[in-house]
Amino acid sequence: MRSFFKNVLANIVAIVLLCAVFFIFFIMMLVFSSMGNDKSAVVKKNSVLTINLKTNIIDSPTEEEMGLFNINNKSKSVMLYDVLEAINKAKTDDNIKGISIEADDLHAGMTQIDDIRNAIEDFKKSGKFVYAYGNAVSQASYYLGSVADQYYLNPSGMIELKGLATEVTFFKDFADKYGIGIEVIRHGKFKSAVEPFLRNDISPENKEQLSTLLNDIWKNTSTKMAVSRKIDTAQFRTAVDSLYGMIPELGLKYKLADKLIQKTEYDEMIKSKLKLEEKEKLNKVSLAGYISSYADEDKSGEKVAILYASGGINNGDGYNEIYSEKYVKYIKDLQNDDKVKAVVFRINSPGGSANASDEILFELQQLKKKKPLVVSFGDYAASGGYYIAMAADKIYSEPNTLTGSIGVFGVIPYYKDIANKNGIRSDIVATNANSQYYSALNGVSPYGVNMITRSVEGTYKRFVHFVTQNRKQTFEQIDNIGGGRVWSGVRAKQIGLVDELGTLNDAVKFAAQKAGLKSYHTSSYPKRMTPFEQFFKDLNEDDISARIIKNKIGKSNYEILQQITDKKLQSEVKMEMPYQIKID
With a pLDDT cut of 90, the percent of the chain lying above it is: 51
Comparing 187-201, 332-346, 488-502, which segment has the lowest mean pLDDT? 187-201
Specify the higher pLDDT residue, 421 or 29. Answer: 421
Question: Residues 266, 267, 273, 276: what is their CA dihedral angle, to the nearest 10 degrees?
Answer: -150
> Which pLDDT score is estimated for 491?
94
Highest-pLDDT range among 79-88, 549-558, 572-581: 79-88
CA–CA distance, 356 with 491 (Å, rounded to integer): 28
pLDDT digits (tens, 9 = 90+) for 188-209: 565 566 777 778 888 888 888 8
> Which pLDDT score is estimated for 437?
84
In this model, does residue 541 exceed pLDDT 50?
no
Hey, which residues does 331 pair with through a beta bridge?
none
Contact assessment for residue 478 and residue 467, using Cβ atoms and an 8 Å cutoff: yes
Highest-pLDDT range among 173-182, 350-359, 544-553: 350-359
Comparing 82-86, 319-323, 423-427, which segment has the lowest mean pLDDT? 423-427
In this model, does residue 544 exceed pLDDT 80?
no
In this model, does residue 137 exceed pLDDT 80?
yes
- Amino acid (one-letter) located at 180: I
In this model, does residue 329 exceed pLDDT 80?
yes
How distant, in Å, are the alpha carbons of 147, 199, 244, 331, 513 from that of 506? 21, 42, 37, 21, 11
What band does 219 get if pLDDT is binned at 50, 70 and 90?
Answer: very high
CA–CA distance, 142 with 147 (Å, rounded to integer): 9
> Which pLDDT score is estimated for 62?
82
Q: With a threshold of 0.85, does the pTM exceed it?
A: no
CA–CA distance, 251 with 258 (Å, rounded to integer): 9
CA–CA distance, 437 with 457 (Å, rounded to integer): 19
In this model, does residue 167 exceed pLDDT 90?
no
- The SS3 assignment for 435 reads coil
In this model, does residue 247 exceed pLDDT 70?
yes
pLDDT digits (tens, 9 = 90+) for 301-319: 789 999 999 999 999 888 7
> Which pLDDT score is estimated for 29?
52
> Which pLDDT score is estimated for 71?
45
What band does 18 get if pLDDT is binned at 50, 70 and 90?
Answer: low
Contact assessment for residue 361 and residue 309, using Cβ atoms and an 8 Å cutoff: no
> Which pLDDT score is estimated for 178?
77
Q: What mean pLDDT comes out for the span 512-517? A: 96
CA–CA distance, 505 with 112 (Å, rounded to integer): 12
> Which pLDDT score is estimated for 278?
82
> Which pLDDT score is estimated for 35?
47
Contact assessment for residue 576 and residue 356, using Cβ atoms and an 8 Å cutoff: no
How distant, in Å, are the alpha carbons of 145, 453, 479 from that of 385? 30, 22, 17
In this model, does residue 409 exceed pLDDT 90?
no
